[in-house]
Structure 1
Amino acid sequence: MAWRDSRRGRGRLLLFVAGVALGIAALVGINSFGDNLARSINEQARELVGADLVLSSNQPFDSTLVPALRRLSPVQAQERAFGSLVQFPRVQGVRLAQVRGITGGFPYYGDWDVQPRAAVAAFRAGCGALVDDVLLSQFGARVGDSVRVGRLSLLIIGKVLHTPGQSGLGSAVAPTVFVPGAQVAATGLVQRGSRVQYRQYFRFAPGTDVAALIKPFETRFDRANIDTDTVASRQQRTGRAFHDLTRYLSLVAFVALLLGCVGVASTVSLYVREKLAAVAVLRCLGASGRQALLIYLIQTAGLGLLGALIGAALGAGVQAVLPRVLGDFLPVAVRVGVSWPAIATGVGAGLGLAVLFALLPLLSIRRVAPLRVLRAAFEADTAAPDPLRGLVLGVLALGILGFAYLQTHEWKLALGFGAGLAAALGALAGLGWALTWAVRRYFPGGWGYVWRQGLANLYRPQNQTLTLIISIGLGTFLLATLYLTQGLLLSRVATADAGKQPNLVLYDIQPEQRAGVEALLTQRGLPIVQRVPIVTMRLSAINRRTVTELKRDTAGGKGIPAWILSREYRVTYRDTLSPSEKLTAGTLPRRGPDGTPYVSVDNSYFERAKLKLGDTLTFNVQGAPLVAIVGGTREVDWSRVQTNFLVLFPKGVLEGAPQFHVILTRTPNTAALGAVQQALVRQFPNVSALDLGLILQTVDDILSKISFVVRFMAGFSIATGLLVLASSVVVSRYQRVRESVLLRTLGASRRQILRITLVEYALLGLLASLAGIMLSVLAAWALAVWVFDSPYTPNLLPLLVLAGGVAGLTAAIGLFNSRDVLTRPPLEVLRAEG
């Protein structure tokens, strides 16, 4: 009976299949990509590290530890890495780059893609430099040119296209110049106080348990501030990072699926209204309410399964595109393959949700009375609430939360997603209900005929007001929130290029070089906006409890983030606050009666480290212990373009410690920037210059690529919303045709009917998009205040353009699907009515 009855309605319900298919395509595509990425990371874990073990420190390895490290493996490589300005003399190009001086055969695993291939062997023999292709392309340099690093000039013997473990985006942000390790000293850049990263790479025999091998060294490594990186730890860390990305995108895709299911409920609701007379006839012939319900439930379940299978096939295609889009972010080459768990999850979730959403309007079929055959206007049987409705809603809510937990594996995140989704849906539904009530309550009786009819369609039977505001509004909300957040992030960096803000940072200036650098800037007419001494140190204890104890003692270290215990601190000393700081508690930095320094710390750092005023912090300053007392807290405006610090010391404590200076200045144009960089390379080769304008461009590129991916996923939501619109119009076409014929019988022209339809759908699209934009403005404001802590002024013009575009697209689809309204003759409907 379900098959036989569906013959007349299959075409009208196929659009609801498309809505489900789109949501499942997005979901299966993202989950398949995540599975393939995880598998590729596992398969290429050694290539991520380039070795079996990496030891790294910001100071040379302790001489007492070196003999033991040499005995670990006969196959080793050493590296010294630091940031420096590099120059290409032929083209007069200068840029900050990462210089890596390598001795030995690193990388041991993975393909070091260098052109020409023979350049790798020549480099290991100490014959020249290898330079990232990104850096060569920027200045038009080529193999055969020379590159100047400090006092050393080297022949460029090859260009590096890919280094194991480094993504394309990493090369763009920090392009690398590889130099032979034996020639690092000749650059003159590694001096007392220079910031250098020391790394040692090890290769072991296959099957070696690296974790067990280095376990006896853990205490010595902690004491010497040496970090370890193994294949297993890099695999876990990289997999976790990209799992966070894929689970976020999968939740965005899940929203698209939920929108499709909202369309299912709307379409089935309209479909059921048409079938009530047929159900009444079945009841007269002896069918039970349960049988009638199952007939139409089988129909919708069959269509839901069809949509799920089509969506799974489309998702397999989507996941093949994502590695190309995200290629610059990925440290591994993703091998695309069919992920059956992702397909099973997508099909199961899609089918289950489609059936549950369809079941809500189908429940009214159970109570259809045979009396409807005799009384066409009989409504009493379906007006009363169904007791099963609450059960279905409960199962639906549990299903949504269960799936969110399946993606996040954290109940807090799952509940947060559910609460946020409920809030957004509730706000949009409330707006739709308020609109319907307001139009009916305050109907503008004095307006023109076309406007009155178009507005009345917003609350007449078979209206799509609530459904379309929810579906299209939620899609617009995702897109607009993405745009506003991207603009918010860019505005924090863009201040570097506004007004008299500094746009050039000079750092690694040694104390004896400061006067010379300042004189160079003064000669060129550049202002010295700020000069700051910086001392590097590490935290060794909190309240006399060592960092090692805090890491191992879960009770004592619980709640203290790992970065607080293991990071390298860069601090300065002064007795006053800068314009970007405000005292919130305690006192300014000062020295106690016994000479003990009282430091001021950032508010957020104070809270995350679980500190109290009067607590002690013990720092390791280049091997010398220094005990400080937390004397006060500051609120720091981190968006200001100047040096800001987590920990601020008073004067009279750190002046004798190894340190370097930072100077902030502003160049009026690109020519002045290039000239001062050239002068720095000639006179002070160890001084690095950070171009904040280049940082702004890099951040813009990064955000553009990320936003494209999220826009791509949000596009599924918009497309699903438009399919919901199309399916709702198709299913309710008979009602619209009937109304149109009655209007034409009363003298309305086709042009007037066309304009009435246009008013209805344009208003729906405009109100839905404006609702989504209003929510996005609130969401972006919340992010600005509570996450980014920055001022918020949204750019409304692009948002209004988005609202107009969505309204126009909605009106176009509504007109296209309503074309039968203009072509059906009045007599056909009048005969059917008779």
Structure 2
Amino acid sequence: MPSLSFQSAAKIAAREMHASRGKFTFVLLSVAIGVAALTGVRGFSSSFRATLLTHARSILAADLSARAFRQPSPAEIKSLADVEASGIKVTPVTELMSMASVPVTMDPLLVSVKAVDPSRFPFYGTVDLEPSMSLSAALTPDSVAVGDDLLLRLHLALGDQLKIGNRTYKIAATVLNEPDRLSSNFSAGPRVLMSREALDSSGLLAPGSHAGQRFLFKMPQTGPNGTVNDAAVQDFKLKLEKMLPESQVVDYRETNPALTQGLDRATSLLSLMSLVALVLGAIGVAMAMRAHLQQRLDTIAIMKSLGARSSQVIKIYLLQTLLLGIVGGLLGVGFGVGVQMALPVFLAKLINVVPDLHVDLRSIATGLGAGVLTTLLFTLPPLLDIRNVRPILILRRAMDESSDDPFVSAIFRKLTRNYAQIISGALILGGLGAIATTLSDSREVGKWFTIGLVVVLFILLISSWAVLRALKFFLSKTRLSLPSSLRHGLANLYRPGNPSAALLAALGMGVMQIMTVYLVQQAVVSELHVASAPNLPNIFLVDMTNEEIGGIRTLLTNAPGITKAPELLPVVSSRITELNGVPASQAKLTNMPKRMLQSMSLSWSVTGEAPDGTKVIEGAWWTPEEAANAHDHPVVAIQKYVADRLGLKVGSTVTFAAQDSSFTARVTAITRSDGQHAYGRAEFVLPQQALAGLPTVWYGGVHVDPAQVGKLQRMLYTAYPTVTVINVAAALETVRSVVVQITYVIQFLATFSIFAGIIILASSIAGTRYRRMREVVVLKTLGATRARIATIFSIEFAVLGLIAGFVGIVFANLIADRLLRSLSVAYVHLWGTSFVALLAIAVLTVLTGWIASHRLLGQKPLEVLREE
């Protein structure tokens, strides 16, 4: 045969596609839905994630913050000026304690002063004032904004005068909410917000002042779609830690542990969904194209008999595959973009936020490229098989495929006799690894995803083969005692030419992926629901004495609007003198000034487990025996971020000095707090016996109906005028609303991914329809009735679904357990859900098989043969 041009090959491929529209529907469906899931999930999640990160930045009021406990040195001021010259915006925030008074009465009151540049602060979010006005209008060189608690204590009103330092200022507004309230110091005394000019003229920043300083940074928007690049933030954070070695540098993801964990888990889960969509689409393409090429063996044999070379035949079907991938990918992109734009409409009432939606060209290109590439990759093995098969063997394939061990022997023959298949396998794995790296934006994730895919696929293939062998052995022992329809249906699973092992592996893989997404999202959402509970403390109390704590506990229990029992935290002031036997002056700390070791907060817990909102991530909470002996052998639990900065781990020792006593405690647990409870403020927690007799002050937290906060403040000020009440209800509600939004989006996108995966698997099952034609012909010719054939096929479908479901669900539970451990999320085995899923998979397999094959029962054998 003369050389076959690409134009001629494309015409042949197009004509064959037109003549076999029904067969190619399954391929197009698999590609389109896989690409749609990939494009829709990735596109919407990237838009929504950008919106959520903007909310997270508003809690810090910046991209990064550097906190120091002194004024910056000249060298540091120069470094900060160089940073601003590079295009990064910088604004200082000064916080200090001072006395304020009314000029008429001169009654003094300790207040917490915060000085900002109103033209820049905040970089994200807004300061809500009453009456409503801009921050620049409220904060002038001669006016300030104050907390409403200051007006209550000093019996003042808006427009009155307030003396701070050596100046008198007009009270222009009250502060309802500050975006960075959770990241500011929880200092004693009402809040006073003033401009930098007002602070400079007050005389408060005298030499030796103990004012704290925060520098807020806003990065240029150099990321995709006008966002801030996360990698650039992390790089700049490392630079800041070197530039300001005694400052505590945090980024927007570290402002609130619950929000940080929610964002991290959402990002991981959404990446997992994208990868699952990719693999499920690949499974659908592989099964549908394999079935199609097997059906075209007669045509290929005729072409070879007429002199066509293998390369020419491969060219035809390669072009056909490429065309299918492009058409299916374009359909999928269109559907995916539609889904991306429609999701906010369905979610608007649930998440109460409208993402800044846009057509994400990167997601579209990724989805289309992944669809075409996976279609080509998974068609390589059957295409390459054309090179090594003679026409006479193809025409006799029904006879030659009979083997006692067709699946495993076929694999080993391909591996030992056909190096092209080994190369194609390597290309498939390399391509999937590259796509996984692109989707997850991590080379490490791509590598482990590919390795995991190979391992799991190998185990699934071996498991499927083992199950079929066991089934064959079972039938050989019980053949005569089983009904004939049941025997025939079970025997169909390993009949010659039936791809049961490959289909079992593919279905098992798909079931595993779908169930993994479901199990992981269920566990993550359950954790997020705890973090977003509506009765978490939103009012905090500072500096309560031992004499006051009993009365305050009674007042908080009986006050109106209290929705949950108050959380009260005892605190003992201490200093650290040694770390692992090394004097504190010689200790090596990470981004923590050594003078901070002179003021550490210790607390105690009388329970045998970690307090609410605190999770042990390393080691174990102390036992009752250790608590009983804590006076002589103290033990301590330390928060993770403090342990990292001090270089401590489980088994380390810390020597504390409080008053005239000194003791050394052994670290038994490293903990992580969700930041939502009073104990989240405790850096070191010991048994009560270890701190017995030491001076104690108390801090507290309680959830109050926002409408009753003012009334509770008045009750506390009247009964306990020295207790400071810190209202963070608005700030915590921002965090809670974002976490709630994350849970809804995770659930919705997981449901969408699972639904798309089910359709892809159903199309894979339906693709086996054409393999059943010859069997229906033979059975009808031998006199089988429609009912008997239906029973045989139903048994085959059901057993196929049960086996694949069982194998997939077992591996899904194992993988979900491992994934959740890496996310520090507790995993609970959902036995009931797994059982229901197993039955659902069997029902789905039967329904799908019959939806695709029912027409065969109504056709005469001659009609079926003519279709071939």
Query: Corresponding residue for 1:89?
Result: none
AA aligned to 1:360 is P
Provide closer, same or farther for how the CA distance between residues 712 and 826 of structure 1 changes in structure 2, counting only shifts above 3 A: same
User: Counterpart amino acid of 2:846?
Assistant: A
Note if contact 1:536-1:570 (Cα within 8 Å) is conserved in structure 2.
Answer: yes
Hey, what's the Cα distance between the residues in 1 that align with 2:702 and 2:179?
37
1:112 and 1:163 in contact (8 A); partners too: yes
Shift of 1:485: 4.4
The 3-state SS of whatever aligns with 2:493 is coil
The amino acid of 2:835's aligned partner reads L
Is the alpha carbon distance of 1:338 and 1:203 closer, same or farther for their aligned partners in structure 2, counting shifts above 3 Å?
closer
Where 1:442 maps in the other structure, the secondary structure is helix
Q: Aligned pair 1:468/2:507, yes or no?
A: yes
Task: Look up the equivalent residue of 2:843 and give its one-letter code.
Answer: G
Q: How does 1:100-499 map to 2 (within 5 A)?
A: 104=118, 107=121, 112=126, 118-120=132-134, 181=193, 246=267, 249-320=270-341, 335-372=356-393, 375=396, 377=398, 379=400, 384-385=413-414, 386-408=418-440, 410-443=442-475, 445=479, 446-460=481-495, 461-463=498-500, 464-487=503-526
Inter-partner Cα distance in structure 2 for 1:320 and 1:467? 32
Deviates more, 1:354-363 or 1:466-475: 466-475
- CA 1:273 to 1:646, structure 2 compared with 1: closer, same or farther past 3 Å? same
Q: Using a 3 Å threshold, how does the CA distance of structure 1 residues 181 and 324 change in structure 2: closer, same or farther?
A: farther
CA deviation after TM superposition for structure 1 residue 12, in Å: 1.1
Which of 830, 835, 855 aligns to 1:800? It is 835
Paired-residue identity, %: 24
Matched, 1:732 2:753: no
SS of residue in 2 equivalent to 1:286:
coil
Partners of 1:742 and 1:31 lie apart in 2 by 48
Instruction: Give the C-alpha shift of residue 266 in structure 1.
Output: 1.6
**Structure-2 change in CA distance of 1:715 and 1:396 (3 Å):** same
Which structure 2 residue ranges, 5 or more long, are not aligned?
1-11, 85-89, 98-111, 159-171, 196-210, 220-236, 611-620
Q: Against the structure 1 CA distance between its residues 400 and 815, is the aligned structure 2 distance closer, same or farther, given a 3 Å change threshold? A: same
Structure 1 residue 369 displacement after superposition: 0.8
Superposed, 1:727-806 pairs within 5 Å as: 727-729=764-766, 731-782=767-818, 788=824, 793-806=828-841
Report the alpha carbon displacement of residue 19 of structure 1 after superposing the two structures with TM.
1.4
SS in 2 for 1:632: strand
Q: Which amino acid aligns with 1:265?
A: A
Aligned pairs for 1:60-75 (under 5 A) are none
Give the corresponding residue for 1:21. 32
1:118, CA displacement in angstroms? 4.9
**Secondary structure of the corresponding residue to residue 634 of structure 1:** strand
Q: CA deviation at 1:726?
A: 2.2
Could you say which residue in structure 2 is the equivalent of 1:582? Answer: 622
| CA distance 1:474–1:523, change in 2 (3 Å) | closer
Give me the whole-angstrom Cα distance separating, in 2, the residues matched to 1:361 and 1:229.
Answer: 51
Q: Secondary structure at 1:732's aligned position in 2?
A: helix
Q: What SS does structure 2 have at the residue aligned with 1:296?
A: helix
Q: Is the 8 A contact 1:276 1:368 kept in 2?
A: no
How much has 1:508 moved relative to structure 2? 2.8
Deviation sequence 1:323-344 (CA, Å, 0-9, x none): 7789999999854444444433
1:572 aligned onto 2:611 = no
The SS at the match of 2:622 is strand
- Using a 3 Å threshold, how does the CA distance of structure 1 residues 392 and 503 change in structure 2: closer, same or farther? same
Deviation of 1:566 (Å) = 9.5
- Cα 1:530–1:448 change in 2 (3 A) is farther
For residues 630 and 15 of structure 1, the distance between their equivalents in structure 2, rounded to whole angstroms, comes to 70
Q: Does the aligned pair in 2 maintain the 1:150–1:681 contact within 8 Å?
A: yes
Q: Distance in 1 between matches of 2:293 and 2:218?
A: 69
Do structure 1's residue 632 and structure 2's residue 666 form an aligned pair? yes
After superposition, give the CA deviation of every residue in 1:805-829 in whole Å (9 maximum; x if it has no partner).
4443443332222221232124434
How much has 1:289 moved relative to structure 2?
Answer: 2.2
SS of match in other structure, 2:284? helix
Task: Kindly indicate whether residue 847 of structure 2 is the aligned counterpart of residue 812 of structure 1.
Answer: yes
Contact 2:59–2:125 (CA<8 Å) still a contact in 1?
no
Letter in 1 for 2:763: A
Tell me how far 1:203 sits from its aligned partner.
11
Whether the aligned pair in 2 keeps the contact of 1:584 and 1:633 (CA below 8 Å) is: no
Equivalent pair of 2:653/2:666 in contact (CA under 8 Å):
no
What is the root-mean-square deviation in Å for CA atoms of aligned residues?
6.6
Shift of 1:393: 0.9
Distance 1:770 1:725 in 2: 17
Return the offset for 1:389.
0.7
- Paired position in structure 2 for 1:192: none
C-alpha change, 1:691 and 1:325, in structure 2 (3 Å) is farther
CA distance in structure 2 between the partners assigned to 1:43 and 1:573 by the alignment: 35
Deviations 1:111-156 (A, max 9, x none): 749799954478669899999xxxxxxxxxxxxxx9998887989x
Q: Distance in 2 between matches of 1:720 and 1:763?
A: 20
- State the AA in 1 paired with 2:544: Q
Shift of 1:632: 1.8
Distance 2:174 2:798 in 1: 56
Distance of 2:95 and 2:349 partners within structure 1: 26
* Pairwise CA distance, 1:215: 14
- Measure the CA separation in 1 of the matches of 2:131 and 2:699: 40
Equivalent position amino acid for 1:459 in 2: Y
- How far the C-alpha of 1:760 sits from its partner, in A, is 3.5
Q: After superposition, what is the alpha-carbon deviation per residue over 1:176-205, rounded to whole angstroms, capped at 9, x for unaligned? A: xx976379xxxxxxxxxxxx998677999x
Cα displacement string for residues 334-361 of structure 1 (whole angstroms, at most 9, x for unaligned residues): 5444444443333333322221111112
Q: For residues 503 and 797 of structure 1, do their structure 2 counterparts lie closer, same or farther at Cα, with a shift above 3 Å needed?
A: farther
Please, which moves more after superposition, 505-514 or 324-333? 324-333
Change (3 A) 1:589 1:359: same
User: Structure 2 counterpart of 1:715, which letter?
Assistant: F
Which letter maps to 2:622? K
Normalising to structure 2: TM-score of the pair? 0.65
Change in Cα spacing, 1:312 to 1:286, as seen in structure 2 (3 Å) is same
For 2:816 and 2:296, locate their aligned partners in 1 and report how far apart those are by CA, in whole Å.
45
Contact in 2 for aligned 1:371/1:378 (Cα 8 Å):
no
Contact map agreement 1:19 1:720 (CA 8 A) in 2: no
Whichever residue aligns with residue 286 of structure 1, its letter is G
- Report deviation, 1:371: 2.1
Structure 1's 826 and 229: CA in aligned 2 closer, same or farther, altered over 3 A?
Answer: closer
Q: How does 1:649-798 map to 2 (within 5 A)?
A: 660-662=697-699, 683-684=719-720, 686=723, 702=739, 705-706=742-743, 708-709=745-746, 712-713=749-750, 715-729=752-766, 731-782=767-818, 788=824, 793-798=828-833
Q: Distance in 1 between matches of 2:49 and 2:520?
A: 29
Alpha-carbon distance in structure 2 between the residues aligned to 1:429 and 1:322: 37
Relative to structure 2, which stretch is displaced further, 578-587 or 741-750? 578-587
Q: Is the 8 A contact 1:539 1:618 kept in 2?
A: yes
* TM-score relative to the length of structure 1: 0.67
Code of the residue aligned with 1:290 in structure 2: it is S
In the other structure, the counterpart of 2:542 is 508
| SS of equivalent to 2:34 | helix
Q: Which residue of 1 aligns with 2:169?
A: none
> In structure 1, what is the Cα distance between the partners aligned to 2:177 and 2:853?
55
Is contact 2:277-2:757 (8 Å) kept? yes
- The residue identity in structure 1 corresponding to 2:860 is P
Match of 2:108 in 1: none
Paired with 2:314 and 2:238, the residues of 1 have a C-alpha distance of 66
Between 355-364 and 608-617, report the one with greater CA deviation: 608-617
Distance 2:703 2:653 in 1: 39
The alignment partner of 1:474 has SS state of: helix
Query: 1:659, 1:29 → 2: CA distance?
Result: 56
User: Would you say the 8 A contact 2:274–2:439 is kept in 1?
Assistant: no
